[in-house]
């Protein structure tokens, strides 16, 4: 028995040494070593890597980028360098759940639709634009931009449904690195649309922007299908995939949608527990059902974050302003926002925790709504900070009120 134990310990030590060697090789990128030299060393000393090892590399990258003062262009260069070293060297694990209706199948279906849009439509219109940059051809490219921005729903489902569960398993790299790249692609499409909308004959600028957008989209498709999806498949339970599939409809789909509903056997689901309990307040008693219905009937959206910045609750009104999925429950609020805005959330919470502020308010135009967003520090009778309440309301209809209404009509 001792021999078996010793063998196990030796194997664990070997795995640890291998991972350390992998991380040391990638760390050389940040010490100024040329990417081609790093790749040669990687190919000679490591060869192929597992999805789990890629997860560790991603975590190291996240830690280094967060600790350093890297510009957006330098961050992109390093991310591209990572991918160029790993490309073709990642072992592909079996994917038995890649069946119609499964979230991963749907993500891949969308990637195929994006590829088809680029190859059979966008590139064709680019060719026509090169021959003659007429108003007609500019308009066709604008239409392609509008279709291409449907990718936002693909990325939103990834960011708000896949990333939270990865974080549950201690995998934070995609939440920072991949979300940052998603935002760069979104911004790239918006910039292309701006150049076309304000087109004044600078054909080269348009063509360069088109190439940038296409290259980045294909780069992200590769990252998703060789790293992210296999990583998620190796970690998530069937129950978690069921929840992801159920909540995907709320965000929507990109260019296509699941052809059938995925109905697994769900062997690993816990039995559903129903409760008819009551909650006693100082001013009355409500059943849990009554309380939930009251909160969901309020003409506002409510989200509560506890004292450790973890999302604990959100209401589910009929006309939510900002999309919420149940996957955010138990997730830190900082990781529910794009990396570029996370510091603003942190500053607000710091003001509440220190007692510097009790309320903060913002008002923005969002699609066809005029939205008031209010944040309240929740404190107990001893002024102890317990969390933050987010209160979101469409105030457009209120602003439109004129005169008086005194009787029922």
Distance from C-alpha of 214 to C-alpha of 114, rounded to nearest angstrom: 10
Instruction: For residues 135 and 237, state if they share a domain.
Output: yes
pLDDT confidence tier of residue 76, bands split at 50, 70 and 90:
confident
Written in H, E and C, the secondary structure of 354-397 is: HCCCCEEEEEEEECCEEEEEEEEEEECCCCCEEEEEEEEEECHH
pLDDT confidence tier of residue 266, bands split at 50, 70 and 90:
low
Instruction: For residues 315 and 192, state if they share a domain.
Output: no
Distance from C-alpha of 349 to C-alpha of 25, rounded to nearest angstrom: 38
Highest mean pLDDT among 4-13, 115-124, 250-259, 339-348: 115-124
Q: Which of 126-130, 332-336, 367-371 has the lowest mean pLDDT?
A: 332-336
39 compared with 195, residue with greater pLDDT: 195
pLDDT, position 1: 29
Domain for residue 163, yes or no? yes
Instruction: For residues 193 and 292, state if they share a domain.
Output: no
Determine contact, residues 16/24, Cβ cutoff 8 Å.
no
Domain for residue 36, yes or no? yes
Average pLDDT over residues 165-176: 86
For residue 225, what is the domain's CATH number? 1.20.120.520
Domain for residue 271, yes or no? no
Boundaries of domain holding 133: 103-251
Domain for residue 139, yes or no? yes
Determine contact, residues 372/396, Cβ cutoff 8 Å.
no
Instruction: For residues 72 and 115, state if they share a domain.
Output: no
Domain for residue 262, yes or no? no
Distance from C-alpha of 350 to C-alpha of 340, rounded to nearest angstrom: 17
pLDDT, position 111: 96
Instruction: For residues 61 and 131, state if they share a domain.
Output: no
Highest mean pLDDT among 176-190, 318-332, 340-354: 176-190
pLDDT, position 273: 39
Distance from C-alpha of 112 to C-alpha of 242, rounded to nearest angstrom: 23
Domain for residue 328, yes or no? yes
Determine contact, residues 160/327, Cβ cutoff 8 Å.
yes
> pTM of the prediction?
0.61
The token pair at 92 is 């592909």
CB atoms within 10 A of CB 338: 14
pLDDT, position 97: 52
In terms of Cβ atoms closer than 10 Å to its own Cβ (0-12, 13-18, 19+), residue 67 is: exposed
Instruction: For residues 223 and 113, state if they share a domain.
Output: yes
Domain for residue 233, yes or no? yes
Residues written for the chain: 409
Instruction: For residues 245 and 110, state if they share a domain.
Output: yes
Instruction: For residues 156 and 242, state if they share a domain.
Output: yes
Instruction: For residues 162 and 195, state if they share a domain.
Output: yes
For 268, phi then psi, to 5°, come to: -95, 5
Average pLDDT over residues 363-369: 88
Residue 277 has pLDDT above 50, yes or no: yes
pLDDT, position 3: 32
The total domain count for the chain is: 3
Among 32, 54, 86, identify where a domain stops.
86
Among 235, 251, 267, identify where a domain stops.
251
39 compared with 264, residue with greater pLDDT: 39
Domain for residue 97, yes or no? no
Residue pLDDT, tens place only, 278-297: 777 778 778 888 888 999 99
Q: What is the mean pLDDT of the chain?
A: 85
Among 25, 60, 86, identify where a domain stops.
86
Residue pLDDT, tens place only, 367-386: 889 999 999 999 999 999 99
Instruction: For residues 134 and 242, state if they share a domain.
Output: yes
Instruction: For residues 201 and 112, state if they share a domain.
Output: yes
Instruction: For residues 81 and 107, state if they share a domain.
Output: no
Residue pLDDT, tens place only, 22-36: 888 888 888 888 888
For residue 289, what is the domain's CATH number? 3.30.450.20
């Amino acid at each position: 028995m001792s021999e078996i134990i010793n063998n196990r310990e030796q194997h664990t030590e070997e795995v640890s040494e291998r991972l350390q060697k992998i991380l040391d090789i990638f760390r050389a990128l940040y010490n100024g070593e040329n990417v081609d030299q790093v790749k040669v060393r990687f190919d000679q000393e490591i060869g192929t890597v597992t999805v789990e090892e890629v997860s560790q590399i991603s975590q190291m990258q996240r830690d280094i980028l967060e600790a350093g003062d890297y510009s957006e262009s330098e961050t992109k260069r390093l991310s591209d360098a990572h991918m160029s070293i790993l490309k073709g060297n990642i072992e592909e694990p079996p994917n038995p759940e890649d069946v119609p209706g499964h979230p991963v199948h749907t993500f891949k279906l969308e990637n195929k639709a994006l590829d088809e849009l680029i190859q059979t439509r966008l590139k064709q219109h680019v060719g026509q634009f090169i021959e003659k940059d007429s108003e007609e051809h500019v308009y066709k490219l604008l239409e392609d931009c509008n279709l291409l921005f449907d990718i936002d729903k693909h990325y939103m489902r990834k960011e708000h449904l896949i990333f939270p569960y990865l974080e549950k398993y201690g995998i934070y790299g995609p939440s920072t690195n991949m979300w940052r790249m998603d935002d760069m692609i979104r911004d790239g499409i918006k910039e292309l649309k701006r150049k076309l909308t304000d087109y004044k004959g600078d054909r080269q600028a348009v063509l360069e922007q088109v190439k940038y957008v296409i290259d980045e989209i294909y780069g992200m498709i590769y990252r998703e299908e060789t790293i992210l999806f296999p990583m998620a498949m190796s970690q998530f339970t069937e129950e978690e995939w069921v929840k992801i599939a159920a909540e995907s409809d709320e965000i929507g789909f990109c260019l296509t949608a699941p052809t059938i509903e995925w109905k697994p056997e769900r062997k690993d689901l816990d039995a559903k527990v129903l409760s008819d309990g009551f909650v006693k307040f100082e001013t009355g008693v409500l059943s849990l059902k009554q309380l939930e219905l009251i909160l969901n009937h309020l003409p506002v959206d409510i989200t509560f974050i506890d004292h450790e910045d973890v999302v604990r609750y959100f209401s589910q009104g009929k006309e939510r302003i900002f999309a919420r999925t149940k996957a955010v429950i138990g997730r830190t609020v900082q990781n529910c926002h794009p990396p570029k805005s996370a510091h603003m959330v942190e500053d607000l919470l710091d003001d509440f925790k220190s007692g510097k502020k009790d309320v903060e308010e913002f008002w923005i135009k969002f699609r066809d709504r005029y939205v008031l967003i209010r944040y309240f520090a929740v404190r107990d009778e001893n002024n102890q900070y317990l969390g933050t309440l987010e209160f979101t309301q469409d105030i457009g209809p209120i602003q439109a009120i004129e005169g008086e209404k005194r009787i029922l009509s």
